[in-house]
Amino acid sequence: MPFLILSDIHGNGDALRAVLEDAKGRYDQILSLGDLVGYGAEPNEVVNWVRENTAACIRGNHDRACTGLDSIEHYNPAARASAVWTQAALEPRNLEYLQRLPRGPLPVQSARGSFDLVHGSPLDEDDYLVTAADVSHIRSLLETQLSFFGHTHLQGGFLITRGGVQRIAPGRILELEPDHYYLVNPGSVGQPRDGDPRAAYALYSPEARVVEFRRADYDVAKAAARIREAGLPESLALRLHRGT
């Protein structure tokens, strides 16, 4: 029973549709790691789709910020402008859905044991796990052998062994070893920040114990045009082209 794992869609319907086309026929259930909205110009399209199609979804910091659950004072000007725009654009039922999303870690059962969904880190939904040092700090506190996380918009993750923490490069296939711990990031569907503008996602097969990192080409110019037409900051359109 393979899972399609999506994170940080950020209101980018064009990227989401391309991912679904690319992954067609290759999964049974869809899981989301939060940040459905913020930055992109199609928040309602994304939330409508997530509401109807995902088996499990946790909240991200932008889902809180764009629905009034969190202060946006510490956000940069572009993120703040998009949070204000998104809150005004969201249909009431979508606003309510986002406000009610659970905080991670959220356990998901599979044929081969359970794994967790988290937005930032297993300890704090707002933590950024970017470097091996970030993971070393929380290593002894990890309770679950496999967690999927987002928030950094960087595809890959970390392998935690007795010897230490190693980065997992976003190669195509990751084979999970029984004795190790893993923090796996599918990358961002709607706003990649690893220099590759293609939409990022992952497929996880518990039976095969394999995570497949994937990228999907999509019409970046179209998504950028929607951002401009919505009157959102130009920087949000440009960064989609750069993938940063």
Q: Which is nearer to Zn ion, 119 or 215 (CB)?
A: 119
Among 8, 42, 63, 194, binds Zn ion (CB under 5 A): 8
Number of residues that bind Zn ion (CB under 5 A): 2
* Cα→Cα distances 160→124, 132, 144, Å: 18, 9, 11
- The span from the CA of 19 to the CA of 240, in Å, is 15
Q: Which is nearer to Zn ion, 153 or 176 (CB)?
A: 153
Q: Give the single-character DSSP code of 102.
A: P
**For 217, phi and psi rounded to 5 degrees?**
-65, 140
Q: Which is nearer to Zn ion, 35 or 212 (CB)?
A: 35
Q: Which is nearer to Zn ion, 8 or 116 (CB)?
A: 8
Shortest spacing between CB 193 and Zn ion, in angstroms: 9
Q: Which is nearer to Zn ion, 38 or 105 (CB)?
A: 38
Tell me, rounded to whole angstroms, the distance of Cα 105 from its chain centroid: 14
> Where does this chain touch Zn ion (CB under 5 A) — which range of 1-9, 108-116, 139-147, 222-230?
1-9
Residue nearest to Zn ion (CB): 35
> Where does this chain touch Zn ion (CB under 5 A) — which range of 2-10, 102-110, 126-134, 214-222?
2-10
> Where does this chain touch Zn ion (CB under 5 A) — which range of 7-15, 81-89, 104-112, 231-239?
7-15
> Where does this chain touch Zn ion (CB under 5 A) — which range of 28-36, 48-56, 101-109, 122-130?
28-36
- How many helices (DSSP H) and strands (DSSP E) are in the chain? 8, 12
Query: Which tokens belong to 31?
Result: 């899981």
Shortest spacing between CB 227 and Zn ion, in angstroms: 15
170, containing H or E segment: none
Q: Which is nearer to Zn ion, 2 or 127 (CB)?
A: 127
* Cα→Cα distances 164→158, 171, 180, Å: 10, 20, 11
Cα–Cα nearest to 146, from 102, 183, 195: 183
- Check binding of 127 to Zn ion (CB under 5 A): no
Between helices 92-99 and 43-53, what is the axis angle to 10°?
60
The interface with Zn ion within residues 31-70 (CB under 5 A) comprises 35
Q: Which residues contact 3 (CB under 8 A, 6 or more apart)?
A: 27, 28, 29, 30, 31, 108, 110, 203, 204, 205, 206
Contact positions toward Zn ion, by CB under 5 A? 8, 35
